[in-house]
Amino acid sequence: MLLYIHVPFCVRKCHYCAFHSQIFNKVTFAWYLKTLLAEIELWGCRLKKPKIGTVYFGGGTPSLIPPFQLELIMDALRKHFTFIKGMEITIEVNPDSANDKSYFDSLISMGINRLSIGFQSLDDRNLMVLGRPHSSRQAAETYYMARKAGFGNISIDLMWGLPRQKMKDWNNELKAVVKLKPEHISSYGLSIEPDTVFGQNRAEVEPELPPDSEQAKMFIYGAEFLESMGYIQYEISSFARIGFISRHNHGYWDRLDYLGMGPSAVSTIGNRRFINPLYMDEYDAAVRGGFLGEDFEEITDEIRAQELVMLSLRTSRGLKLSEYTELTGKDLMKDKKSVITALHQNGLVRISAGFIRLTKNGMLVSNSILQSLAFD
């Protein structure tokens, strides 16, 4: 089982972010921490101290949690869950809140062994446009402090397709990040989402974005460049050196059970999927009353088949056709013959050794391809 802990606090909301978060304050955080510790105990008892293979602290900004309080969470997890030897424990950190070597020393001492650092860009103009609360210099300093503390598994987040960004700018970003030699790089195209600063100002933002043709070049160039520098593209947005694939994220693509804790966290256990309440008062009431997980969606065979297609095709491994047949009793190549033929002829998918995989051009239009193959 995978374990995800949502930390819904930020210094401020970035302009592109659609995740649930609120401005950090000590009173609300103390309330959150007390409720989270109660939720950890609740699930540990309900699931009878289950084995977990990964823990991932996401947000929000988990690095806003003071180390002594983060240690309370880690102690509670060890008490109520069974940690598998050699498991991966990741925390997302932002350069503005993780800027002290002693902080990283504390993380290592409590068993956290992987970092995901939210650079997003190493260009100060881009950082300002994105509403990030840090500079490029702070980002680099955070990375070096983490290395000095002893972290040997670091991921860096980057974004492309930004307002007024040119190919040469993206090239410079990639070169600068690769020089740091992180073990993992997540590379995301900017998406303008509703209920974000960008979404609320769509009319002003969209004309500043690179044309679709330029964004396509950025994606393909970025993937090819990172591969040439020794990174394996194991998922549309994920690149890793050998031995450093994110086990937590890979578990999602492999459709493992996962338990999400904290406000708005999603869980899938067996044939049930449920979402924690979004707001603190409702979340607290659900934990105290033991109601978590009672309002669930049943994962039917049809949903499992759709998710098998959609999640598998996001990965470089692709969809194993026999696995689809075993699950559904159907032959995808026959049922979707005309669609797959058209995709293949247009260079968007490859079919070999019993697998169907997206090409890099296919990854560019992955959402429409996945919809056409997963749904009738």
| Alpha carbons 332 and 375: distance in angstroms, whole number | 11
pLDDT at position 141 is 97
* Average pLDDT along the chain: 96
In contact, 151 and 179? CB cutoff 8 Å: no
CB atoms within 10 A of CB 147: 17
Q: What's the CATH number for 2-253?
A: 3.20.20.70
Beta bridge partners of 261: 5
Beta bridge partners of 298: 272
| Alpha carbons 62 and 59: distance in angstroms, whole number | 6
pLDDT at position 191 is 94
pLDDT > 80? residue 260: yes
Kindly report, residue by residue over 196-223, the tens digit of the pLDDT. Answer: 999 999 999 999 999 999 999 999 999 9
CA proximity to 325, closest of 316, 333, 337: 333
| Alpha carbons 344 and 352: distance in angstroms, whole number | 11
| Alpha carbons 196 and 297: distance in angstroms, whole number | 27
Coil/strand/helix, residue 306: helix
| Angle 51-57-63 from CA coordinates, rounded to 5° | 145
Domains of the chain, by residue range, sit at: 2-253, 318-374
pTM over 0.85: yes
In contact, 255 and 311? CB cutoff 8 Å: yes
Kindly report, residue by residue over 156-190, the tens digit of the pLDDT. Answer: 999 999 999 999 999 999 999 999 999 999 999 99
Coil/strand/helix, residue 223: helix
DSSP state of 211: P
Buried (b) or exposed (e) across 157-187, using 16+ Cβ within 10 A? bbbbbbbebeeebbeebbebbbebebbbbbb
**Residue 205 in tokens:** 């933002």
Kindly report, residue by residue over 301-331, the tens digit of the pLDDT. Answer: 999 999 999 999 999 999 999 999 999 999 9
Beta bridge partners of 7: 59
pLDDT at position 25 is 93
pLDDT at position 187 is 98
